[in-house]
A and B are shown apart, each in its own frame.
Chain A
Amino acid sequence: MNPVRLSGRATLRGLRAVGAVALFTLRGLFHLRPLRPRLLAAQIFQIGWLSLPVVALTALFTGAALALQIHSGGARFQASDVVPAIVAIGMVRELGPVLGGLMVAARVASSIAAEIGTMKVTEQIDALVTLSTDPTGWLVTPRLWAAMLTVPVLVGVGDIIGIMGGWLVGTQSLGFNSASYLANSWAYLESWDVISGLIKGAAFGLIVAVSGCWYGMASGRGAEGVGRATKSAVVAAAVGILAANFILTGLFFE
Chain B
Amino acid sequence: MIRIEGLRKSFGARTVLDGVDLHVGQGESLCVIGQSGTGKSVLLKCILGLEAPDEGLILWQGRPLDRHARPRFLDSFGMLFQGAALFDSLPVWQNVGFRLRQRMSGQKARGIAIEKLARVGLGPETADMMPAQLSGGMAKRAGLARAIADDPQVIFFDEPTTGLDPIRARRINGLIRGIVEETGATAVTITHDMDSVRAIGDSVALLQDGSIAWQGAVADMDDAAPLTGFLGKDTT
The chain A residues found within 8 Å of chain B, CB to CB, are 34, 118-119, 122-124, 126-127, 129-133
By a CB distance below 8 angstroms, the chain B residues around A123 are: 81-83, 85
By a CB distance below 8 angstroms, the chain B residues around A118 are: 88
Quick one: closest B residue to A134, CB to CB?
Answer: B71
Interface size for chain B: under 10, 10 to 19, 20 to 34, or 35 or more residues? 20 to 34
Contact A129/B50 with A123-B81, A123-B82 known, Cβ cut-off 8 Å: yes
Contact A124/B78 with A129-B48, A129-B49, A132-B71 known, Cβ cut-off 8 Å: no
How long is the Cα–Cα vector from A122 to B83 in the complex, in angstroms?
7
Q: Are A122 and B85 interface neighbours, CB within 8 A?
A: yes
Candidates A119, A122, A131; contact of B98 at CB < 8 Å: A131
Q: Are A130 and B83 interface neighbours, CB within 8 A?
A: no
Quick one: closest A residue to B49, CB to CB?
Answer: A129
By a CB distance below 8 angstroms, the chain B residues around A127 are: 79, 81, 85-87
A77 to chain B, nearest CB (A): 57
Q: Are A132 and B99 interface neighbours, CB within 8 A?
A: yes
Candidates A34, A119, A124, A129; contact of B74 at CB < 8 Å: A129
Interface string of B56-88 (1 = CB under 8 A from A): 000000000000000100110111011101111
Quick one: closest A residue to B81, CB to CB?
Answer: A123
A217 to chain B, nearest CB (A): 13
B61 to chain A, nearest CB (A): 17
A124 to chain B, nearest CB (A): 5
B47 to chain A, nearest CB (A): 10
B93 to chain A, nearest CB (A): 15
By a CB distance below 8 angstroms, the chain A residues around B85 are: 122-124, 126-127
Interface string of B154-182 (1 = CB under 8 A from A): 00100000000000000000000000000
Q: Are A132 and B74 interface neighbours, CB within 8 A?
A: yes
Interface string of B19-34 (1 = CB under 8 A from A): 0000000000000000
A126 to chain B, nearest CB (A): 6
11 A-B pairs with CB atoms under 8 Å apart are A118-B88, A119-B88, A122-B83, A123-B82, A126-B81, A129-B48, A130-B48, A130-B77, A130-B79, A132-B71, A133-B102
